[in-house]
Amino acid sequence: MSDADIIIVGSGMGGATLAAGLKGSGLRVLILEGGVHLKDTPEARDPEAIFRDGHYRPDETWLTPEGTRFNPGNYACVGGNSKFYGAVMIRYREADFARWPLDHATLAAFYTRAEALYQVRGDAMADPTEPPHDAPYPHPPVPHEPEIADLSRRLKRAGLTPSPLPLAVDLDRWLARASTPWDAHPDTNGGKLDAESAALACALDDPDITLRTNVSVHQVEADGARITGLLTSAGRLTAPRIVLAAGAVHTAALLLRSANDTHPTGLANRSDQVGRNFMNHNTSAVLALSHRRNRAIYQKTLQVNDWYGDGLGNVQLLGRVSTPILAAQTGLPRPFAALIANHAIDFYAMSEDRPNPESRITLRGDDIVLDWKRSNWDAHLSLVAKLKEGLRRAGFPVVLSRAFDRRTPSHQCGTARLGDDPAHSVCDPIGKAHDLDNLYICDASLLPTSAAVNPSLTIAALALRQADHLRNMP
């Protein structure tokens, strides 16, 4: 007898949402997670422990093509990277689907379901770039703090169109634990609605759905066009259908590591696209300084999309960059860091990284090699320049910026892209591997483009669509 009807490898945004979508289906679902549950410890809200000491950074290292080791900053725990995310649940814009085999209208109902599952707070009418909704957000926007409400007024006077960020945050619950930002801070009390606190909590209400933690998957076994089992740290496990949801890097690495005589370049890789088209948003921190003191705690409630239609990207607030965070991230002397942090409002400028087959994940022995080739960088520099200009008009005489590097996982995606053509994609539009009858992928690997907004909601919508497909199969 098989161990389940469906085994899902990974409990992040894709895997957990897929499990939630399978709730009540009668299918036996087993979720395998290589990490464990995060515990609520003092470090969870200690910025120096997080940003200076790297308390939550894993021991895992990857290689650059030149052989230099680096810590990628991905998290292995129940809920995956969503435990640390900024809780931004924003839809891809309609134009973002131009190079997809489906459009926003196809995903619209699944977007709405995902917004309900993650209890998103927002206002669908405030941003002119927002695509059509068939229902309002489940809750009104997270309220601006006084400094951010003032910022919004000043941006409007400067000719910009700020709007509320759609957020999966229970603000009262988050702040009841400690008065800190949530962006890049781990969720250990359910204040953020992440893959664990929202989707897994829903899924595990079903006795047919179980989660096993601290189980690593080493290899996927295949015989011809069928997956026959998983070789794991807990032994060999089997199910009629297998779903990989380990994240854009680890899903691709697992497929490559599972090469056999029938699939010599890796599973699902007849197209030679597995591991290729790696994308990681072009992002910069932009700090706007003035004589005004910024007393905001969480800050991350506002976005600006005035330049989105020009192909430059999205601007949103970062979680509050406090003195210890700024000192840890820049090496500035603490008094100087305090002067900047106390008078800055912190922005996150994000531009699309376009697919490039030569930007890829490969293996070197047991090591993952990341050869990330940035694209569209000039557009990102233009976005940062336009943002700086707008902020100066809004009354910020000094504006600083700094790009994020490869150590920051800025929405990694694209390594097992979906598409209609098996010669140029890994999976079909549902997420089933073209080459294998019973293998599915359900994470950011599927995304054929990165757009210029946070991908979490799109991953969740694709997962719910895949769940409907699986639960309706004979």
Q: How confident is the model at residue 406 (pLDDT cuts 50, 70, 90)?
A: low
Helix (H, G, I), strand (E, B) or coil at 325: helix
CA distance 255 to 247: 12
pTM score, two decimals? 0.97
Q: Is the pLDDT of residue 409 over 70?
A: no
pLDDT at 191 over 90: yes
**Distance between CA atoms of residues 297 and 295, nearest Å:** 6
Q: What rounded mean pLDDT belongs to the chain?
A: 96
Sign of torsion, CA 62 188 195 233? positive
Q: Give backbone dihedrals phi and psi of 249, rounded to 5 degrees, phi first.
A: -85, -50
DSSP secondary structure letters along 71-136:
------BTTGGGGGS--B--PPPGGGGTTSSS-HHHHHHHHHHHHHHTT-B--TTS-TTPPP-SS-
pLDDT at 427: 98
Q: How far apart are CA 111 and CA 139, in angstroms?
A: 15
What are the residues whose beta carbons fall under 8 Å from the beta carbon of 59, sequence distance 6 or more?
none
When pLDDT is cut at 50, 70 and 90, the band that residue 58 belongs to is: confident
What residues pair up with 121 in beta bridges, in sequence order? 139, 167
Specify the pLDDT at position 179: 95
d(CA 295, CA 179): 12
> pLDDT for 252-301, tens place per residue?
999 999 999 999 999 999 999 999 999 999 999 999 999 999 999 999 99
**DSSP state, residue 138:** S
User: Are 409 and 81 contacting, i.e. CB atoms less than 8 angstroms apart?
Assistant: yes
Please determine, for residue 410, whether its predicted confidence score (pLDDT) is greater than 80: no
d(CA 457, CA 111): 7
CB atoms within 10 A of CB 253: 24
pLDDT digits (tens, 9 = 90+) for 452-473: 999 999 999 999 999 999 998 8
Q: 438 pLDDT band (50/70/90 cuts)?
A: very high
The pair of structure tokens assigned to 406 is 């490869």
Judge contact between 470 and 241, C-beta under 8 A: yes
Q: How far is CA 445 from the centre of its chain?
A: 11
